[in-house]
């Protein structure tokens, strides 16, 4: 399949370790944030979301942390698996409960066996 | 259950040609979005439909880009007189309800357009 991005920041982790992917968002008015996973040749796949009235939300093996003071979002993946290898994008909505998503530039996660 | 499908998956066009990209959203989904994704970048919003109404086309880069959804289901993104800078992956997404925050957008696999 095609590469989603050839010059993205890359995080390389050992299988079984925890991964932390960081994102700085741009608009202090944004009130909704999403993490997407994109595998080569596929469209983005929803992982987890969080609203601005929360600072932490947990899913299955994933946790999203939101720090509005410094406009920072992070995605934590527990016990990283080879199937987690992909490009990860954070997205924000720009505020006013807007549907229009603004994506970050992405981070490539490589899981070493 | 089928997800969002897009066709063609790959399109090569000579500069100056017109192209039409198709999106079949998930059945019953009211909202439909088009995004453009350049290599190594995140997707960028192009336009939004609620049923057949195009409510937001603020992201369309020029008047060469035109999108329609005449019956509120299938959508077509048309690019006239393609230029090399139009080369990108064009993603379609749909969601169940009118565009409000908190409703998951399901993405299709995209159409990779290469303009030579």
CATH number of domain containing B63:
2.60.40.10
pLDDT in tens, A37-52: 999 999 999 999 999 9
Q: Residue A2: which of B42, B103, B112 has the nearest Cβ?
A: B112
Residue B105 domain flag? no
Residue A98 confidence (pLDDT) above 60 = yes
- A54-58, A109-113, B100-104: the lowest-pLDDT one: B100-104
Query: What CA–CA distances, in Å, run from A17 to A38, A79, A84, B19?
Result: 20, 5, 12, 46
Domain that residue B51 falls in: 5-97
**Cβ-defined contact of A99 to B104 (cutoff 8 Å):** no
Mean pLDDT to the nearest integer, B89-108: 82
Give the pLDDT of residue B102: 57
Domain count, chain A: 1
Residue B86 domain flag? yes
User: Considering only CB atoms, which chain A residues are within 8 Å of B106?
Assistant: 46
Q: To the nearest whole angstrom, how far is the Cα of A12 from the nearest Cα of chain B?
A: 18
Nearest Cα to Cα of residue A55 among A41, A39, A72, A40: A72
Nearest Cα to Cα of residue B4 among B30, B23, B28: B23
CA contacts within 13 A on the Cβ side of B89: 26
Residue A5 domain flag? no
CA distance A111 to B109: 23
Residue A58 domain flag? yes
Residue A34 domain flag? yes
SS3 of A32, please? strand
Give the pLDDT of residue B99: 59
Domain count, chain B: 1
Q: To the nearest whole angstrom, how far is the Cα of B31 from the nearest Cα of chain A?
A: 10
Best residue of A36, A44, A54 to probe chain B, by most B CBs closer than 10 Å:
A44
Q: To the nearest whole angstrom, how far is the Cα of B33 from the nearest Cα of chain A?
A: 9
Residue A75 confidence (pLDDT) above 80 = yes
Give the pLDDT of residue A7: 66
Residue A108 domain flag? yes
- A20-24, B25-29, B63-67, B104-108: the lowest-pLDDT one: B104-108
Residue B111 confidence (pLDDT) above 90 = yes
Give the pLDDT of residue B53: 96
Task: Band the pLDDT of A4: cuts 50, 70, 90.
Answer: very low
Domain that residue A107 falls in: 10-112
The residue whose two tokens read 């897009």 is B6
CA distance B8 to A107: 27
The pairing of strands B53-56 and B5-7 is unpaired
Distance of alpha carbon A71 from the chain centroid: 14
Mean pLDDT to the nearest integer, B66-78: 97
Give the pLDDT of residue B101: 55
Residue A105 domain flag? yes
Best residue of A97, A99, A107 to probe chain B, by most B CBs closer than 10 Å:
A99
Residue B27 domain flag? yes
CATH number of domain containing A72:
2.60.40.10
Residue A4 domain flag? no
């Amino acid at each position: 399949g095609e590469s989603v991005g050839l010059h993205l920041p890359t995080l390389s982790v050992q299988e079984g370790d925890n991964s932390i992917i960081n994102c700085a968002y741009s608009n202090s008015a944004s009130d909704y944030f999403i993490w997407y996973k994109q595998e080569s040749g596929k469209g983005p796949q929803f992982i987890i979301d969080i609203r601005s009235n929360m600072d932490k939300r947990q899913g299955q093996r994933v946790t999203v942390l939101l720090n509005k003071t410094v406009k920072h979002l992070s995605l934590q993946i527990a016990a990283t698996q080879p199937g987690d290898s992909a490009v990860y994008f954070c997205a924000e909505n720009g505020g006013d409960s807007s549907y229009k998503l603004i994506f970050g530039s992405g981070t490539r996660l490589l899981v070493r066996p | 259950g089928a997800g969002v499908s897009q066709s063609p998956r790959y399109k090569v066009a000579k500069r100056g040609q017109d192209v039409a990209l198709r999106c079949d959203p998930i059945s019953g989904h009211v909202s439909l979005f088009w995004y453009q994704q350049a290599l190594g970048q995140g997707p960028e919003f192009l336009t939004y439909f609620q049923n057949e109404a195009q409510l937001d086309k603020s992201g369309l880069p020029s008047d060469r880009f035109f999108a329609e959804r005449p019956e509120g289901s299938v959508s077509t993104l048309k690019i006239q007189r393609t230029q090399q800078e139009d080369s990108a992956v064009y993603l379609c997404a749909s969601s169940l309800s009118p565009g409000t925050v908190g409703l998951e957008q399901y993405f299709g696999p995209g159409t990779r357009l290469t303009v030579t």
